[in-house]
Each structure stands twice: as structure tokens, then as C-alpha cells.
């Protein structure tokens, strides 16, 4: 299927600061696309540009072939949840939705259905100023779904939700994608994306770092690292090192082997009469893989203070 959201060489600068730097990507329907990156990587800015709230410094982004603002029925095109508190505090939840629904003639019946769907029916007449972050997210989600949109753009929707709510939103996103909708959801947590998304767009410092299916990202990430402790470090190292095997020694008796399983290492050691005191396979977690991928692009890195 062809892409619904198409970004071409998007650039957004605020004065000297470049928030989004030559970003090109496409988002396809029928799957959940995770938009992953550390805080400040440019995810929210990119999402705001998709729905025309921020104008790109250069480049362009289209939804269904056109800039968002050119659609006659924008809420049917894209439902966006960009911040939980895109509300005026004095208004009730129901009135907030009615106000947005009125812009394109969506019925109050649908507003009530959606309030029920997101679990806010009981507090529909309460002022949104008193809502928790999680309730605000649910209200924002109802607003995003008002126009029965073909595309959903959700910025960190699980923020502030309790575990029940997180589970619920995962189901919802998967169901929406299964209905054939385009779903773009951002997060700074790899673990969350691994559970929700089918495809990943990873960005750091406004640049695209990876554009891969989640399954492939996980496979790449979980390359095995084996820790070996042996009194014959030098000999074992010579036996293991090869074109696809990388060995580093942190101290003479400790080796870190990359590119070989612990079984293979153990067999080679036994065949050559090398004593092993420790043989530990260590699988890099997704979070570690994500960190190593984005490490160079972190905006705010703690600087190491060295004492003389």
C-alpha cells in the first residue's frame, strides 16, 4: 500500500537551533508506526508540522497527497493528540469535544459515544481543569477520534496513564491499525514501542537514524555478547578471533566475545583444553540497543567531570 504521510527533506529551525534536520520518511497505513527518539529529538516538532501547526523552514510534508491544511474535512483526514492539555480549563470535557465537533458538523451523539469509549462518560460534565494527566490523554484521544480519521498522530499518548490505561491504549492502537488506518505514535521508550509498533522511525537531533521494521530492529539489537573468564585468556583469544568474531579483553583474564555463541566458545575451549571459570551470555536489551543507537545524538548529555 502506498504511504499516507510523506515527509520530504523537512527542516525546522528556531533561530540558531535546528530542531528537525533534513528529515524524509513515509508512514504506511494498516500498521502502527513508532516514532522513537530521546526527548528533544524533534518528534513533537515533526508531528506539529504534519498537521500544519508549525511551518517547516524548508521541505514539505503531505497527508494523503496534500498538505494537511488543504483538506476540506481535516478531522476526517487526521486525528491528532499532540498534548494532553490542548484544552481551556474552564470548559467541561463534553463541551470541549462539542466545540471541536461543531467546526465540521459532527453530531453530539458521536461526542457522547467517544466519551464512553475513552471511559470519560462519568466525568463528561466536569471541568477539564481538574483532570489528571491520564484523563487529559483520554480526552485528547476522544478529540483525535472525533472525525473517524484515516490517520492518527499521537504524541506520547501513554504519558500519565496508569498500567490499565497503557494496556488499553496498546489494544486501541493495534485495532485502529488493523482497521486499515495509518497510526503514527511517538515515544521516547523503546520498550513501549517494541510492544505497540510494527515499524520504527528512530530520530535523534532531528535526523533520521533508522527506518526499520520492529522485528528487524530487535534482531539487530540482540546480537550476543559473551563474557568469558579464563586463566588462559591470551590463548583463547587467538583461537576465537576471526573475520566475524570480535574479542576485547578488559583484563588479562576477562574476555568479551561478540559474534559467537557461548556454546561455540565452550566447545572450542574444551577441544583445546582451556579452563573456563565463567561463561555468561549477555543479551543486550532493546533499551540498550536504542541507547547505543541514539547515544551520539542525545541533546543533553551529562558531561563527565574529571578530578585531577
Residue 183 interacts with other proteins (CB under 8 A)? no
Q: Which of 20, 32, 41, 51 binds other proteins (CB under 8 A)?
A: 51
Instruction: Write the CA distances from 209 to 118, 201, 277, 293, 296, integer angstroms.
Output: 34, 8, 40, 8, 11
Please, which of residues 30-49 interact with other proteins by CB under 8 A?
48
Closest distance of CB 295 from other proteins, Å: 30
Instruction: Using the rule CB under 8 A, give the single segment among 34-42, 169-177, 231-239, 282-290 that binds other proteins.
Output: 169-177
CA–CA separation, 182 and 217 (whole Å) = 21
CA–CA separation, 292 and 110 (whole Å) = 45
Q: Which of 10, 23, 27, 106 binds other proteins (CB under 8 A)?
A: 106
Element (H, E) at 201: strand 199-204
Q: Which of 3, 99, 195, 298 binds other proteins (CB under 8 A)?
A: 99
Residue 212 interacts with other proteins (CB under 8 A)? no
CA–CA separation, 168 and 165 (whole Å) = 5
Residue 215 backbone zone (phi > 0: left; psi -120 to 50: alpha; other: beta): alpha
Residue 115 interacts with other proteins (CB under 8 A)? no
Residue 176 interacts with other proteins (CB under 8 A)? yes
Residue 167 interacts with other proteins (CB under 8 A)? yes
Question: What Rg, from alpha-carbon coordinates, does the chain have?
Answer: 24
Closest distance of CB 253 from other proteins, Å: 52
Residue 105 interacts with other proteins (CB under 8 A)? yes
Give the burial string for 232-257 (b: 16+ CB within 10 Å, else e). Answer: bbeebbebbeeeeeebeeeeeeebeb
Contact 68, 43 (CB under 8 A): no
Residue 143 interacts with other proteins (CB under 8 A)? yes
Residue among 296, 306, 303 at smallest CA distance from 37: 296
Residue 87 interacts with other proteins (CB under 8 A)? yes
Residue 133 interacts with other proteins (CB under 8 A)? no
CA–CA separation, 308 and 304 (whole Å) = 13
Residue 98 interacts with other proteins (CB under 8 A)? yes
Instruction: Using the rule CB under 8 A, give the single segment among 30-38, 110-118, 253-261, 264-272 that binds other proteins.
Output: 110-118
Residue 113 interacts with other proteins (CB under 8 A)? yes
DSSP 3-state of 49: helix
Residue ranges binding other proteins (CB under 8 A): 48, 51-55, 68-69, 71-76, 78, 80, 82-83, 85-92, 95, 98-100, 102-106, 110, 113-114, 117, 119, 143, 145, 147-148, 164-165, 167-168, 171-172, 175-176, 179
Amino acid at each position: 500500500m502506498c504511504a499516507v504521510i510523506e515527509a520530504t527533506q523537512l527542516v525546522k529551525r528556531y533561530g540558531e537551533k535546528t530542531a528537525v534536520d533534513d528529515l524524509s520518511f513515509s508512514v504506511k497505513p494498516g500498521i502502527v508506526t513508532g516514532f522513537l527518539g530521546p526527548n528533544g529529538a524533534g518528534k513533537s516538532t515533526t508531528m506539529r508540522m504534519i498537521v500544519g501547526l508549525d511551518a517547516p523552514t524548508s521541505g514539505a510534508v503531505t497527508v494523503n497527497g496534500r498538505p494537511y491544511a488543504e483538506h476540506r474535512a481535516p478531522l476526517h483526514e487526521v486525528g491528532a493528540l499532540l498534548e494532553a492539555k490542548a484544552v481551556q480549563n474552564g470548559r467541561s470535557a463534553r463541551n470541549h469535544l462539542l466545540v471541536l465537533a461543531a467546526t465540521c458538523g459532527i453530531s453530539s451523539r458521536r461526542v457522547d459515544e467517544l466519551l464512553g469509549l475513552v471511559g470519560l462518560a462519568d466525568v463528561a460534565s466536569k471541568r477539564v481543569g481538574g483532570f489528571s494527566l491520564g484523563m487529559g490523554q483520554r480526552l485528547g484521544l476522544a478529540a483525535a477520534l472525533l472525525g473517524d480519521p484515516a490517520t492518527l498522530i499521537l504524541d506520547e499518548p501513554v504519558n500519565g496513564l496508569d498500567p490499565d490505561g497503557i494496556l488499553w491504549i496498546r489494544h486501541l492502537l493495534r485495532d485502529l491499525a488493523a482497521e486499515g488506518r495509518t497510526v503514527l505514535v511517538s515515544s521516547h521508550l523503546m520498550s513501549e514501542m517494541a510492544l505497540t509498533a510494527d515499524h520504527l522511525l528512530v530520530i535523534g537531533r532531528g535526523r533520521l537514524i533508522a527506518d526499520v521494521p520492529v522485528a528487524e530492529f530487535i534482531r539487530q539489537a540482540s546480537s550476543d555478547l559473551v563474557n568469558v573468564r579464563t586463566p588462559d585468556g591470551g590463548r583463547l583469544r587467538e583461537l576465537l578471533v576471526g573475520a566475524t568474531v570480535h574479542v576485547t579483553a578488559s583484563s588479562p583474564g576477562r574476555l568479551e566475545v561478540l559474534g559467537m555463541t557461548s556454546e561455540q566458545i565452550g566447545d572450542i575451549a574444551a577441544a583445546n583444553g582451556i579452563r573456563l571459570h565463567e561463561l555468561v551470555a549477555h543479551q543486550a536489551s532493546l533499551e540498550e540497543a536504542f541507547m547505543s543507537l541514539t547515544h551520539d545524538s542525545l541533546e543533553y548529555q551529562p558531561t563527565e567531570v574529571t578530578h585531577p
